[in-house]
Amino acid sequence: MKSLILAGGRGVNLNPITKTRSKSMINICGKPVLEYILLGLKDIGINDHIIVVGHEKEKIKTYFGRGEKWGISINYAEQKGTTSIGGAVLSARNCFAEGGYFFLVYGDIVFYPNIFLNTLISFNSIKGPIATICLPPTPGLYGNIYMDQEVQITKIIEKPSNRKFGNYILSGVFILPTQFFKLLVKAKSNMEKAFAFLVKEMGLHASIFEEDWIDIGYPWNVIDANKLLMKSIKRTSIATTAKFENNVSINGPVLIEDNVIIKAGATINGPCYIGTDSFVGNNCLIRENTSLGARSLVGYGVEIKNSIIFEDAKIGRLSFIGDSIVGDRVDIGSGVMTVNRHIDGKTVKTRINNNYIDSKLEKLGAFIGDDAVIGASNTILPGTIIPNKAKIPHKGSI
């Protein structure tokens, strides 16, 4: 069976993170989201992939190539002039011969453990179209999938008007017959309609995934996804080329890659990831759920918790980074604080595309775009978004 993976999405609500990369290329614990998907599929023996690309496609092609590095085969299809999911699916139609089934996977989902295994088991027992469904982690995402006791789906309402009901949603993982392309054409690229046709003509069985699943829609979902993937770090693994000075304390499971240097007095509390060639200075406190990308430079006495630092970033001495995302090549001066909660304990709202969206989180820090420079001694308030390449001057009192 082949797979069709949608990785062309722009992710407009994810600025500034997705301005320079597709959603599927967001790097968490050393790997882009798409790599976790490919590895999950490889685990169940699906090695032939068609990836639909669009926004920032070159970054995907450069990273994954033809898939040789993973022992899989990758071909690309381009989604031209369409932003709809249905349109993206149709752009790969020619890559699939008629007859048989294929995996359809949305390229912006994060899961643990392997969601594809569930889907395949259901497919093997039902031998018909499968939609893997799950209950969303946040009430705002409820859908309404109606099914009978044989888990045959009878009706799908992706975005119900009455939000007081809460029920299953499509997880973005399906096993579909190739006839689905025809139905999609008939439905004028409308996925919800095409599924309705499928339900009527061939039936569509649900496979319920009762484990952790996240669809990356808003910046804070990246932090949730990071936390989720950290669960897969079960035991400590430290590259032999990593160098620790005396008095470094490591607690709980951590993943430390090649050539990492950790200076004396640092404490690392797992689960944590520290990427290749990174440097952690004296007396740093790297707390739970921190993902430090390759070549990060963390100065003296820095504290980091529940945050994702992409690659090549510098964090100056005596700073605090909490519940935040720091982009590629960001340069943070010394003594910068990301404040991660309001004093009245209210949930943090963030301004996204000119609307204030409630993250429903009591603790949320900042989202700092690629190549931004933050001057020393700045205090960044909860939920702040700093655009790519922004330059924020030092904050001096004299």
- Binding residues (CB under 8 A) for other proteins: these are 118, 122, 125-126, 130, 135-139, 142, 144-147, 149-151, 164-168, 205-211
CB of 284 to other proteins, least distance (A): 30
- Angle at CA 362, nearest 5°, toward 360 and 364? 90
Residue 290 Cβ vs other proteins, minimum distance, rounded to whole Å: 23
| Closest among 275, 367, 379, 373 to 323, alpha carbons compared | 367
Q: How far apart are CA 51 and CA 54, in angstroms?
A: 10
Residue 125 or 251 having the CB closest to other proteins: 125
Least Å distance, CB 112 to other proteins, is: 11
Q: Which is nearer to other proteins, 157 or 392 (by Cβ)?
A: 157
Task: Give residues with Cβ within 8 angstroms of 336, minimum separation 6.
Answer: 315, 316, 319, 320, 321, 374, 376, 377, 378, 379, 380
User: Which residue, 69 or 164, is less far from other proteins as judged by CB?
Assistant: 164
Q: CA angle, corner 365, sides to 363 and 369, nearest 5?
A: 150
Neighbour count for residue 136 (Cβ, 10 Å): 17
Quick one: 149 or 354, whose CB is closer to other proteins? 149
Write out the two tokens for 34: 């798409």
Go through 194-215 and write b for each residue having 16 or more CB atoms within 10 A of its CB, e for each that does not.
bbbbbbeeeebbbbebeebbbb
**Minimum CB distance to other proteins, residue 99 (Å):** 24
Q: Tokens 């204030």 correspond to what residue?
A: 356
Q: Would you say 98 or 148 has its CB closer to other proteins?
A: 148
Of the pair 125, 249, the CB lying nearest other proteins is at: 125
| Cα four-point dihedral sign 358, 13, 17, 143 | positive
Locus of tokens 């900042």: 366
Smallest distance from other proteins to CB 182, Å: 25
Instruction: Tell the smallest beta-carbon distance from residue 134 to other proteins (Å).
Output: 10
Rounded to an integer, what is the distance from CA 292 to the centroid of its chain? Answer: 15
Minimum CB distance to other proteins smaller for 118 or for 296: 118
* C-beta closer to other proteins: residue 136 or 387: 136
CB of 124 to other proteins, least distance (A): 11
Instruction: Please give the distance of CA 356 from its chain centroid, rounded to a whole number.
Output: 22
Is 137 exposed, middle or buried (CB count within 10 Å of its CB: 0-12, 13-18, 19+)?
Answer: middle
Nearest to 284 by CA among 295, 296, 300: 300
Tokens 């932003």 identify what position? 83
- Cβ of residue 218: shortest distance to other proteins, in angstroms? 17
Nearer to other proteins, 152 or 189 (CB): 152
- Smallest distance from other proteins to CB 110, Å: 17
